[in-house]
Amino acid sequence: MNMTHYMSLLMDNQPWNLIIFMAIPVIFAETITVTEFFILFNKNVKGSLRTFNRICSILAGLYFTGVFLYLFPTAFVPLTVNGEWHTWVDVVAVGFYLSGVIFLLPLALLDLGLIGRKRTEEEKLKLHFILVSGFLVVAHIAMIFGMVNPEIVNSMGGMSGMTH
C-alpha cells in the first residue's frame, strides 16, 4: 500500500517518530485545551491551573517550532524540489501538519509576554483559545489526510458503475 509521507514519518523508527512528531504535540494541545476549559468555566485566570496552562503553551510552542525547523528543510523542501509528493493528499497532510507552527508559536509568544501585551486578560484568553483550537483543527486535518492511501485519488476518476 502506498502511503503519505506524513504516515511514513510516523511509522518509521517506531515508536520514537510517533511520540516525537504526533504524541507530544497533540498531548500538549489537548492538555492546554482541557485546562483552558476549566480556566474559562471557573473564570480563574490567576491560579496554579493557569500557570500550568501557560507552561504547557510555552513548551508546546517552542517544541513544535523545533519540529517545524527540523522537518521543513529536511522533508518539505526536498519533497517539493524533487517532485516526490504522493498526490495532493500528501501535500495536504504534510502542509497542514507543518502549519501548526502558525498557531503554536504565537501561543508561546503570547504566554511569554512577547506579543499581546496591551490586550486585556480576557482578550488574551480569547486569543489563547483561538490559537490552540486552530492547532487542533490543522493537526486533525493532517491526521485525516495522512491516513488516506494516495493511490485512491488517482484511481477514483475511473470508478466503474458510478453515475455522475
Output the 3-class SS for 103-125.
HHHHHHHHHCCCCCCCCCHHHHH
Measured N-to-C along each axis, helices 24-42 and 48-71 cross at an angle, to the nearest 10 degrees, of 150
What is the rounded distance in angstroms from the CA atom of residue 62 to the CA atom of residue 54? 12
User: Of 49, 44, 72, 56, which is closest to residue 111 (Cα–Cα)?
Assistant: 56
156 to 11, 59, 83, 112: CA distances (angstroms): 26, 42, 22, 48
pLDDT for the residue numbered 45: 83
At residue 70, what is the residue type? Y
- Kindly list the domain boundaries of the chain, sorted by start residue: 5-150
Predicted confidence pLDDT, tens digits, the chain (164 residues): 588 999 998 899 999 999 999 999 999 999 999 999 999 898 888 899 999 999 999 999 999 999 999 999 999 999 999 999 999 999 999 999 999 999 999 999 999 999 999 999 889 999 999 999 999 999 999 999 999 998 887 764 443 443 43
The answer to whether 109 and 61 are in contact (CB under 8 A) is yes
pTM over the 0.85 mark: yes
What is the rounded distance in angstroms from the CA atom of residue 116 to the CA atom of residue 105? 13
Q: Give me the DSSP letters along 9-73.
A: HHHTTTTHHHIIIIIHHHHHHHHHHHHHHHHHHHT--SSHHHHHHHHHHHHHHHHHHHHHHHHII
